[in-house]
Amino acid sequence: MSVAIIGDGWWRSACEAAGEDHFILPPAVQPPANPYSADARARMAAAAGWREQFEQNRPECIVDNGAMGLAFAVDSQDAGSAKLFHEVMETPLLSQWIDPLVTVFQGLPWNAAWPSLYSDTWHKFVWDKPQADELASFGVPSVHHLPMAAMDRDYKTDLLQADEAACAVSFVGGQNTTYFQAQRSIPAESLVAGTLAQSVRAEMPDVCFYDVFFNLYRFVEPPRADESVEQRAAKAQNYFNHKLFYNAFSCIKQRDRFVIFLKHRLGDVFRLIGTNWDKAYGLPCEPQIASTDDYFEHFRKTAVNLNFVNGNSDSGLNMRHFEITAAGGFMLCYHQDEIDELFEVGRECDTFRNEHEMLEKIRFYIEHADRRKQIALAGQKRTLSEHLYSHRLRNMLNVLRDGKPALAPSVESATAV
Amino acid sequence: MSVSIATDLLTGPPASQDSGPPALRIAAQADSAQLKDIAAAGHVAVPLPVLDDHHFNRPMNRRLADGEIYRLFFESESIDLLYDIETAAMTFVPDPNGTENSVTMTHSLFGMPYVVHFIDPITETMQQVDWPVRWQLLEHPGWIKWVWDEAHARELQRLGVTNVLSMPMAVGGFNYPTEPLPHRPTGSPVLFLGHPATSWFKGDAVRPADMRIGLMAAAAKADDPALCFHEFYFDLYRIAEPPNAGMDPAARAQAAATYFQTKFTYNVFLAVKQRDRFVHFLQRNLGDQFDLVGDFWSDCHGMTHKPSLRGRRALTDAYRNAGICVNLFKGNAETGLNLRQFEVTAAGGFLLTYDMPELSRYFDVGKECVVFRNEKELLDRIRYYLAHPDERIEIALAGQRRALSEHLYSHRFTSLVERLSLSPRAAGNGSRAAGNR
């Protein structure tokens, strides 16, 4: 049995490393276009193009990132409606979510995207536990929490010499919210839920937006199991609209503020690699590193690789956590709750919780090269043995084949409504 | 913190050798509770002349007209200290030593110290005085600015405000009942008395671009609760340099204005964090077990509420009748305690308060009041203390003893006189030369 992979990303090398037969199907929207921008028509056309390979190869499942495998086929019984392609082909769809729902569905109308989520055979592997719980709480079935990972490839594992660090401190990542840039006005009332949720999290960091919105503060009644999919879609849309400011604030809290702080404090000693920092804040920044080899080499050759998650992550880790460590780089990151489940902090990476601590640790690890190399080595061992996409693929296929949870029961997603 | 006072405010004959400190003649607004508190502290309370309008926001031209009234008064009375709330008594007269059109604060002609106790943020007083003039007045060393929040005091000092005194609020003297509370409350199980901390969310459209720095400060504070806004602004992120003496007055005023404008979003965040959210929470979770007493809740947040109470007797009864009095803070408080902290305890009510950094200096937490930091602790403690009336009554009694022995305004007056090393002036005040405005 083989695995159908949408797009030629890391799942190909993951299948090869895991020894899984596979074939590749082109996504509805080809790079360099944004794959999330695929609209219903493009997804329908993609599905039509996939059908022949499906019938030839009879895959066991479809694996994708961010719902690229969500496609539609005209209902043979009713030309006016469409079915989900994977259901028509009776093939489970396994999607790894590395971006939030509203990003993933940006090409589709909400009333088409949201009901699609209720497909039992569409397994959604969400990298951030609160977002997995959030979906499950809306009654979306087959939601699993599964962290991101690093791609399978040959990583250099030789230890760098102390004087080989070409760069002292670096962050690789873009500035991802335009919320505060545009010279526009918004109703003050739209900020209430987000402000309130962030103030609650300031004192109870494990409380997520869903908890605040529906349970703690009851802005509206939570979705109920006896409600129709359409009713739940409407509640979800209202919910995500209210969450918008919360996410924008999180961008500031978890990433942007630290980048601004470091650029002002450390100047050129701090290399900022990523897009939009100049437009958003007037900070000098370098473009993204084009070649994959150079990208991973950068992490190896940087003394202190900083990592800050985006505003869309409440507790989960982003791909950079795994890329830096896989490359053998030393990682110092803003503390996220899930990090303790995936790395031994202090031995395989280190974390900070505020500006003072970040500066202190940057200075410490720049001065203590041997210590940071020890940590980098241990972090690399951990990632290469547990946090590659081949490992995640194994977790996903276990769900399908053996009915096992994606992760240990204590971190599995919440029971659906 | 230390206080630096201009020495020409402190001249006067040495204290007499009689036993006990000599009584000072302290002027305060007529018909104000302060007069009783001054007298309770052992001083002579001298009522100020009644003005047509003594609102603290009135413009300069009114204050100039009032200056003559006060000048005549000061000439005829021997005043050792002019005490004021929020600049209501700040008046001006033509500066006898200045150029034409220059003015000086009336009290400065007589060399008396002038202390203004700010209940609201300092930037919310004198609102009808143009900001550059307002700021220049704040920078002037000719008067003392008493603020109750240490972070605010430090912030003002860094912005160039002189003679800032940090001292907590208190409560006026009153014949407070001191018998233990009843086991079963006769009023609401849980009471909050106060207005919303912010009406901002009901206001006009806002520009996210203007909010960014305030939100950065709020985010930094979430990760480092001890951080205050001025530390974020001047030290951590170095958004701007503090104003300094080398800048011209207009530039210093502008720098201060920019600081406070930038701080606004941060204050809104604190308003939600320290008060409004908990009121929402309590109303939704306790229903009719929770009494919300205060104005504007329906306008600002669509919440039902009872109207404000007025008068010491009505307030005292409400605090004593409730099972638990919850105290929450407005967005302008970063470290200090509000009036309610002292009102509830002095009345003998049981106080459950949002934790603030300065609290443990003035009350023994757990013995004289109880704190909470989040919604879970709030509910847990409400349930606990309603179910344990003996403990609740004991804490209320202890809190009252503390408030009545240390936290009345008479105590503050005593402390003020000591800290400023004040003593009675020689009889007969003549006018004194004062600096140009």
The tens digit of pLDDT for each residue in A53-82 reads 998 999 999 999 999 999 999 877 777 788
* Per-residue confidence (pLDDT) for residue B37, from 0 to 100: 95
Closest CA to A72 of A50, A102, A55: A50
- Is the model's pLDDT at A222 over the cut of 60? yes
Residues of A in Cβ contact (< 8 Å) with B267: none
Which token pair is B120? 């609201």
Q: What is the mean pLDDT of residues A185-214?
A: 93
In chain B, CATH 3.40.50.2000 sits at 190-204+274-407
Are residues A175 and A290 both part of a single domain? yes
Which of B200, B223, B269 faces A188 most closely, judged by CB atoms? B200
For residue A72, give the CATH number of its domain: 3.40.50
User: Is A70 found in the same domain as A97?
Assistant: yes
Chain B, window 363-402: residues with a beta carbon less than 8 angstroms from a chain A beta carbon: 373-376
Supply the pLDDT for residue A408.
53
Chain B's closest residue to A212, CA to CA, is B281
Nearest chain B CA: its distance from A360 CA (Å)? 13
One domain, residues A31 and A171: no
Q: What is the pLDDT of residue A245?
A: 94
How many angstroms away from the CA of A252 is the closest CA of chain B?
6
- A363 found inside a domain: yes
Of A179, A186, A257, the CB nearest to B205: A186
B205 touches chain A (CB under 8 A): yes
Three-state secondary structure call for residue B260: helix
pLDDT-based confidence at A162, cuts 50/70/90? low
Burial of A163 (0-12, 13-18, 19+ CB in 10 A): exposed
Name the residue facing B215 among A188, A249, A355 (closest C-beta).
Answer: A249
Q: Of A232, A243, A134, whose CA–CA distance to A192 is shortest? A: A243
Separation CA A346–CA A332 (nearest Å): 10
From chain B, pick out residues whose CB is under 8 angstroms from the CB of A204: 374-376
Best of A179, A180, A189 to substitute, by most chain B Cβ atoms within 10 angstroms, is A180
Inter-chain contact B272–A188, Cβ cutoff 8 Å?
Answer: no
Residue with tokens 């305890």: B345
Pair A176, A266 in one domain: yes
A167 in a domain, yes or no? yes
Of B201, B202, B373, the CB nearest to A203: B373
Question: Which residues numbered 216-235 in B keep a CB inside 8 Å of some CB on A?
Answer: 216, 218-225, 227
Residue A383's domain spans which residues? 162-183+251-387
Place of tokens 């029961």: A409
Specify whether A47 is located in the same domain as A67.
Answer: yes
Domain count, chain A: 2
Interface of A with B in 215-244 (CB under 8 A): 216-218
Q: Mean pLDDT, chain A, as a whole number?
A: 91
Please give the structure tokens belonging to residue B40: 């309770």
Q: What is the pLDDT of residues A313-324, one digit of tens each?
A: 999 999 999 999
What's the complex ipTM? Answer: 0.92
Query: Does the CB of B212 have a partner CB in chain A at under 8 Å?
Result: yes
Q: Which of A201, A252, A355 sits opposite B236 (nearest CB)?
A: A355
* Chain A residues within 8 A of B212 when measuring between CB atoms: 180, 252
Least CA distance to A213: which residue of chain B? B281
Tokens of B263: 């701080």
Query: A73 and A136: one domain?
Result: yes
Locate B33 and state its tokens. Answer: 């509770």
pLDDT tens digit at each of 437 positions of chain B? 445 555 444 444 444 444 566 899 999 999 888 999 999 999 999 999 999 888 989 999 999 999 999 999 999 999 999 999 999 999 999 999 888 889 999 999 999 999 999 998 888 889 999 999 999 999 999 999 999 999 999 999 999 999 999 999 999 999 999 999 999 999 999 999 999 998 888 888 889 989 999 999 999 999 999 999 999 999 999 999 999 999 999 999 999 999 999 999 999 999 999 999 999 999 999 999 999 999 999 988 889 999 999 999 999 999 999 999 999 999 999 999 999 999 999 999 999 999 999 999 999 999 999 999 999 999 999 999 999 999 999 999 999 999 999 999 999 999 999 999 888 875 444 433 333 32
Of A188, A217, A256, nearest to B206 by CB-CB distance is A188
Q: Does A191 touch chain B (CB under 8 A)?
A: yes
The model's pTM is 0.91
Q: Is residue A407 part of a domain?
A: yes
| Residues of B with Cβ-Cβ distance to A353 under 8 angstroms | 223-224
Instruction: Tell if the CB–CB gap between B208 and A179 is shorter than 8 Å.
Output: yes
Q: Any idea what the CATH number is for the domain that residue A304 is in?
A: 3.40.50.2000
- Please tell me whether residues A272 and A332 are part of one structural domain: yes
CATH topology of domain B190-204+274-407: Rossmann fold (3.40.50)
**A185 to chain B: closest CA residue:** B207
**Is residue A350 domain-shared with residue A304, that is, in the same domain?**
yes
Q: What is the pLDDT of residues A331-378, one digit of tens each?
A: 999 999 999 999 999 999 999 999 999 999 999 999 999 999 999 999
**A265 shares its domain with A127:** no
Same domain, A94 and A66: yes
Does A200 sit within 8 Å of B374, measured CB to CB?
yes
Q: Are residues A317 and A382 in the same domain?
A: yes
Pick the CATH number of B7-170+411-419 from 1.10.8, 3.40.50, 3.20.170, 2.40.10: 3.40.50
Q: Would you say residue A125 lies in a domain?
A: yes
Residue A48 lies in a domain: yes
Within an 8 Å CB–CB cutoff, is residue B236 touching chain A? yes
- Chain A CB contacts of B376 under 8 Å are 204
The DSSP bridge partners found for residue A200 are none
Distance (Å, whole) CA B336 – CA B334: 6
- How many other C-beta atoms are found inside a 10 Å radius of the C-beta of residue B390? 9
Amino acid A259: pLDDT: 98
Contact in structure between B358 and B166 (CB atoms under 8 Å): no
Work out the minimum CA distance from B373 to partner chain A, whole angstroms: 7
Token pair belonging to A309: 């998650």
Per-residue confidence (pLDDT) for residue A164, from 0 to 100? 65
Please report, for residues A58, B199, B388, the alpha-carbon distance to residue B206 in angstroms, rounded to integers and kept in the order given. Answer: 55, 13, 47
CA nearest B368: which of B346, B388, B386? B346
Residue at A218 is within a domain: no
Pairing of strands A122-126, A143-145: parallel
Residue ranges of A 334-393 with Cβ closer than 8 A to chain B = 353-356
Residue with tokens 């996939």: A50
Judge whether A216 lies within some domain.
Answer: no
Whether the Cβ atoms of residue A348 and residue A379 lie closer than 8 Å to each other: yes
Residue type, A117: L
* Calpha distance B421→B144 (Å, rounded): 13
Question: Which chain B residues are within 8 Å of A181, Cβ to Cβ?
Answer: 209
Chain B residues within 8 A of A198 when measuring between CB atoms: 218, 222, 269
Using alpha carbons only, give the angle B3, B8, B10 rounded to the nearest 5 degrees: 60
Peptide bond into B357 cis (omega under 30): no
Give the number of A-B residue pairs with CB atoms closer than 8 Å: 103
Specify whether A354 is located in the same domain as A375.
yes
Q: Would you say residue A28 lies in a domain?
A: yes
CA–CA distance, A387 with A394 (Å, rounded to integer)? 11
The answer to whether A82 and A74 have CB atoms below 8 angstroms apart is yes
| B220 DSSP 8-state letter | H
Task: Inform me whether the C-beta atom of residue A264 falls under 8 Å from chain B C-beta atoms.
Answer: yes
